[in-house]
Amino acid sequence: MEANQTRKIYKAGDIIMRQGDQGDAAYIIEKGQVEILIEKANGLVQRMGTRGPGTIIGEMAIVDSEPRIATIKAVEDCSLLEITKSDFHRRLKTADPVMQLITQVILTRYRDMLTRVAILKESATYPTPEDLERSYLEQLNTVETVTMANDFRAAIGTDQLTLHYQPIMNLATGQVDGFEALMRWNHPEKGPISPAVFIPVAEDTGLIVEASRWALREACRALRRIEGRVGFDRDLFMSVNFSSSDFAEENFLDQIYTILSETDVAPHKIHLEITERLLMNQPQNAKETLGMCRKAGLGISIDDFGTGYSSLSYLHYYPIDTLKIDQSFIRNMLQDDTSMELVKSIIGLGTNMNMKIIAEGVEHAEEAAFLKTMGCHMAQGYHFSRPHAEKEITDKLIEWSQAKKTA
């Protein structure tokens, strides 16, 4: 498994890195203690200190291509998570240009500072660099996040990662119009992990780009199979979630095209689901990319609509065809006037602008009935169906269409 390649195990006494050697990776200590040794010009070896769980060693190798400045030896049996230079630079490349610049400058200064500290020896009254570093890492939960990111990287393309499909119902006809594809991760040791947990990690590490590509391909294939089995004479659409990092990819549209032609799915049957937040964070980039996607015939849906605190006027600016009203408003609308007003105005506004409206998180029949009278076009939620694996959802569709015929 790839996750094992990035976790290195050392026995007590093993040399992890050697002064003067060329290195290409840093390590996060997951378990065990190591000691840092520097050989002086006169041949004497000086012990510079120890490092334990939650700290980083060998980080200079990912900053520049100077040889290792110290030897690091395992004092106990150790388990280390590897961050290679290429991985680090790939992550850095996905950060915005200001972050890239600042990170580079800080790293260069850090090397300079470490060199001085090594010469001057630290004063006892200041927290040691190790203490400072550990408190940052603890705040960031880094070990856990890196472990999850490594495991997720290994999961992409294996049967650990699957898609579930939730039907999106047409409120006027009572029939299924399409689906939303939702990612599921069944971790070999930890069991199912919620997308609310692993998607942010995948986004922060840039792994989401590969995962989204996989999801789009899999969703297209599933759509072909589902349509083949249910044999409807109308088109069904498939809505796939995308993140900011996907949009930051230069060849985003080319990759979508490749997948559509490979799977032989018409562009109008695929809806790209993006959040309002993405539009607000990178307005110009999003406008251009979405414009091209729209020209290519793809559908564009705005997810979690209403939660972004943006002005509604920005809608004119983007080529959007569908608004998905966030579930928090639907959940509260029958008890809370403000939510109800908001739902009404989104439906009114969107309809005026020739957009389709989908209500998310519909759990009760009364909500569905209300949305229908308000002119909402589509709805999705537990009231109709939870997200299910492809086979279950296909069976359900067949069952529903037979029930409709005999009704």
Q: What gap in Å lies between CA 66 and CA 58, rounded to an integer? A: 11
With beta carbons less than 8 A apart as the criterion, state whether 16 and 73 touch.
Answer: yes
Q: Is 270 in the site for ligand C2E (CB under 6 A)?
A: no
Output the smallest distance, CB 201 to Ca ion, in A: 18
Output the smallest distance, CB 380 to ligand C2E, in A: 6
Q: Is 161 in the site for ligand C2E (CB under 6 A)?
A: no
DSSP three-state, residue 15: strand
The listed partner (Ca ion, ligand C2E, none) that binds 322, CB under 5 to 8 Å by sort, is none
Residue ranges of the alpha helices (H) in 166-207? 195-205
Q: Which residue has the tokens 């972050």?
A: 99
Amino acid making up residue 39: E
Footprint of Ca ion on 307-366 (CB under 5 A): 360
Q: Is 246 in the site for Ca ion (CB under 5 A)?
A: no
With beta carbons less than 8 A apart as the criterion, state whether 37 and 115 touch.
Answer: no
Q: How does strand 161-170 pair with strand 378-379?
A: antiparallel
Contacts of 183 (CB under 8 A, 6+ apart): 161, 162, 163, 164, 195, 199, 211, 215, 241
Output the smallest distance, CB 223 to ligand C2E, in A: 14
Question: What tokens appear for 182 in the block?
Answer: 């939702």
Footprint of ligand C2E on 321-340 (CB under 6 A): 327
- CB nearer ligand C2E, residue 81 or residue 379: 379
Distance from the Cα of residue 335 to its chain's centroid: 34
**First CA to last CA across the chain, in angstroms?**
52
- CB nearer ligand C2E, residue 100 or residue 282: 282
The listed partner (ligand C2E, Ca ion, none) that binds 182, CB under 5 to 8 Å by sort, is ligand C2E
Length of the chain: 407
Q: Which of 39, 130, 133, 304 binds Ca ion (CB under 5 A)?
A: 304
Q: Is 241 in the site for ligand C2E (CB under 6 A)?
A: yes
Contact map string, positions 208 to 237, toward ligand C2E, x by CB under 6 A = x---x--x----------------------
Q: Is 306 in the site for ligand C2E (CB under 6 A)?
A: no
Question: What tokens appear for 299 in the block?
Answer: 């559908």
166 φ/ψ sector (left φ>0, alpha ψ -120 to 50, else beta):
beta
With beta carbons less than 8 A apart as the criterion, state whether 336 and 309 touch.
Answer: no
Q: Which of 183, 207, 333, 357 binds ligand C2E (CB under 6 A)?
A: 183
Q: Which of 87, 276, 303, 367 binds ligand C2E (CB under 6 A)?
A: 303
Amino acid making up residue 155: A
The listed partner (Ca ion, ligand C2E, none) that binds 381, CB under 5 to 8 Å by sort, is ligand C2E
Q: Is 361 in the site for ligand C2E (CB under 6 A)?
A: yes
Q: Is 290 in the site for ligand C2E (CB under 6 A)?
A: no
- Judged by CB under 5 A, the stretch of 13-21, 259-267, 271-279, 350-358 that binds Ca ion is 271-279
Amino acid making up residue 105: V
Q: Is 77 in the site for ligand C2E (CB under 6 A)?
A: no
Question: What tokens appear for 9 in the block?
Answer: 């195990």
Q: What gap in Å lies between CA 222 and CA 237, rounded to an integer? A: 11
Q: Which of 52, 129, 195, 375 binds ligand C2E (CB under 6 A)?
A: 195
Q: Is 243 in the site for ligand C2E (CB under 6 A)?
A: yes
Question: What tokens appear for 205 in the block?
Answer: 């590490």
Q: Which of 55, 71, 166, 394 binds ligand C2E (CB under 6 A)?
A: 166
Instruction: Name 238's bridge partners.
Output: 179, 270
The listed partner (Ca ion, ligand C2E, none) that binds 123, CB under 5 to 8 Å by sort, is none
Cα within 13 Å of Cα(211), Cβ side: 33
Residues in contact with ligand C2E by CB under 6 A are 166, 182-183, 194-196, 199, 208, 212, 215, 241-243, 303-304, 327, 361-363, 380-382, 387
Residues in contact with Ca ion by CB under 5 A are 241, 273, 303-304, 360
